Amino acid sequence: MRYVLMMHTPRGSGEYEHHDWAPEDWQAHLDYFKRLNAALERNGELVGIVALTPPSKAKLVRAATDGTPDTDGPFAESKEFLAGYWLVDVDTPERAYEIAAIASAAPGRGGAPLRMAIEVRQLMSGPASDL
């Protein structure tokens, strides 16, 4: 079963808040995710990883009446924003939840676990002709 694990980050200033962390805290945060990603890869569970730029770089796009892109932005205001996501292929939903909990506990300032919200959703599937 394939799942997407979406990391939601508190909006704060609208940018990632790590800019005011001590360099060693930021490095510990990055190293934590490198170890998690390497373990998922070794287990054959990692399908892909995507890190996203902050909302100030995002645009909302709708088709104008003539079909051309009509952009609005930066991204709409919200309490949290999507910082990135993992695509995993695991045997059970419980394993997806376990991976999400590990990601949620990534260290932040001073090494304290961030306890970020990780939304877990199974990817839809159907007959190949419907994709």
CA–CA distance, 56 with 109 (Å, rounded to integer): 23
Q: For residue range 70-82, what is the model confidence (pLDDT) as tens digits? A: 887 666 666 677 8
Give the SS3 label for residue 85.
Answer: strand
| pLDDT at residue 74, as a whole number | 65
Is residue 1 classed as helix, strand or coil in its secondary structure?
coil
- Rounded to 10 degrees, the C-alpha dihedral 88/115/108/74 comes to 70
Q: In the prediction, which pLDDT does 12 show? A: 59
Q: Please give the CATH number for the structural domain made up of 2-56+69-123.
A: 3.30.70.1060
User: pTM value?
Assistant: 0.81
Alpha-helix runs per DSSP H in 12-130:
23-42, 93-104
For residues 102 and 85, give the distance between their C-alpha atoms in angstroms, rounded to a whole number: 13
pLDDT in tens, 111-123: 999 888 899 999 9
pLDDT in the model for residue 13:
52
Bigger pLDDT: 107 or 13?
Answer: 107
List pLDDT tens digits, range 3-40: 999 998 766 554 456 777 899 999 999 999 999 999 99
Within 1-131, residue ranges assigned H as helices are 23-42, 93-104
Whether residue 44 is predicted with pLDDT greater than 70 in this model: the reply is: yes
